Amino acid sequence: MNNHSIVFFDIDGTLLNEKKQLPKSTKEAVFKLKEKGHNVAIATGRAPFMFRSLRKELEINTYVSYNGQYVVLNGELLFTNPLNPSAVERITELAFQNNHPVVYMDHNDMKANVMEHSFIRESIMTLKIDRYPTLDADYYKGRELYQMLLFCVEGEEKQYEEAFPEFDFIRWHPLAVDVLPKGGSKAIGIRKITEKLGFPEERQYAFGDGPNDIEMLSQIYNSVAMGNAEEETKSVAKYVTKSVENDGIEYGLKMVGLL
């Protein structure tokens, strides 16, 4: 393996700016990394189908998606951590009683249990992706799901947190909450890859900006928080680079000596 390292990049706020655009300097830096023989991977909360075009543009075939629940190494599935099926059925029933729509997500697609709802439309549109959940109220039956989206106003998720200890609930929009397997994280997914490839901790790097990057940045030996990251995220990182808008990826890779 010589002196080659592996570098994990978050997507939103790290590789992509607020407008969900990939800065030219970031793309060039990623390819320079690969030219030097380093392994480049993505670690994101997004579903695999939500960043397929980005993987193609950057020629990246290794990724941790769904915050660690679905992990692919060199194009091959390495690890999954699906939602508990019986708990999915029970939370669906409770959400239906509360008139809270849900969206079911596996590695290929996402389906809603209602035809149309303003909460789904308003929150999904902020992701600026080319996919919108269509109707299939039975999509959860007989297949592995890695995440659900629960649509409710802030505070209403409390009853679900109390009723479903099998899940973690992470709010990402005033109208939407991620529902994930309890204790799953990007850090766990990353560990599956680094152990498989045999990278020692001193040759592991990670870049991130959000609350869902805190565990990853606190556990990866060479962690880099973006300049646009929240203070809580910056506080756990070993390094802090410039913002994504100010060539933060290129600057950070030079700062840690990889470019």
**Where do the domains of the chain lie?**
6-80+184-255, 85-181
CATH 3.30.70.20 at 6-80+184-255, yes or no? no
Catalytic residue among 10, 106, 213, 247: 10
Confidence of residue 2 (pLDDT cuts 50, 70, 90): low
Tell me if residue 21 falls in helix, strand or coil: coil
Q: Judge whether 140 and 147 are in contact, CB under 8 Å.
A: no
pLDDT tens digits for 163-183? 999 999 988 899 999 999 999
Which helix (DSSP H) or strand (DSSP E) does residue 34 occupy? helix 24-35
47-60: average pLDDT: 96
Question: In angstroms, rounded to a whole number, what is the distance separating the alpha carbons of residues 240 and 194?
Answer: 23
- Judged against a pLDDT cut of 60, whether residue 1 lies above it is answered with no
pLDDT band at 41 (very low <50, low <70, confident <90, very high): very high
**Which CATH number fits the domain 85-181, given the four candidates 3.30.1240.10, 3.30.479.10, 3.40.1020.10, 3.90.850.10?**
3.30.1240.10
Instruction: For residue 10, indicate whether it is catalytic.
Output: yes
The DSSP H or E segment spanning 103 is strand 102-105
| DSSP-based helix, strand, coil % in the chain, nearest 5 | 35, 25, 40
Residue 97: burial class (beta carbons within 10 Å; 0-12, 13-18, 19+): exposed
CA atoms of 129 and 143, how far apart (whole Å): 24
